[in-house]
Structure 1
Amino acid sequence: MKAELNKQEIRATNDAIARFKSNDPGLKRTYDVEFVIVDPNTSFELNLIESFLGENEIEFRTVRRYKSDILVEVQMKLEEKQILEIESYLTYFANEHGLKYDGWGAFE
């Protein structure tokens, strides 16, 4: 299952992708992208997220915790469709488990 992203969320993703175009005009590079889910209680079992990702055929490098954040690291190109797809899955997952999807960041 996936969540429907609103126009503001889609625009924020497109704006974030656009910021990478000055150093990667064709967006040809592969990045380590961290998708962030906030776990205010810091007690959520990471294996549940790993299982959800696997069930939805989302390839990931790691799922780890940093303070109240759960970081899902995916190695990928910054393709709008693929990022929005992962965001919609993670938003659904977060909503279903009392967590909050909080966006993504990318690193070379």
Structure 2
Amino acid sequence: MSKQAMVVLSTAPDKVVAVRLASVLVEGKLAACVNIVEGVRSLYWWEGNLHDDKEVLLVCKTDEAHLKELTATLEKLHPYDCPEVVALPVVGGSVAYLDWLIKQLD
């Protein structure tokens, strides 16, 4: 594996939005896989108010070459004014899985 694998975290307000976003990313080959994790509780400040919301977490597996377009796609399609898009480099893991991930994005 020569390309840098990445994990991108984002949240959505509900399962319908999460599935729609994940489908666009995977079908567009911006992510090799997106896990949809329901039941996430998020506490955060927004416009001076403390929020405590139920959300759905998206765990997107991609590579560095697709990160910019994946981020732009999430920002464009997401219903939030300021969607969470946090990218983390993958520093290790199953070589077979990471090779598979990269091949899906070619």
Using the size of structure 2 for normalisation, the TM-score is 0.48
Task: With the length of structure 1 as denominator, give the TM-score of the two structures.
Answer: 0.47
Q: Which has the larger radius of gyration?
A: 2
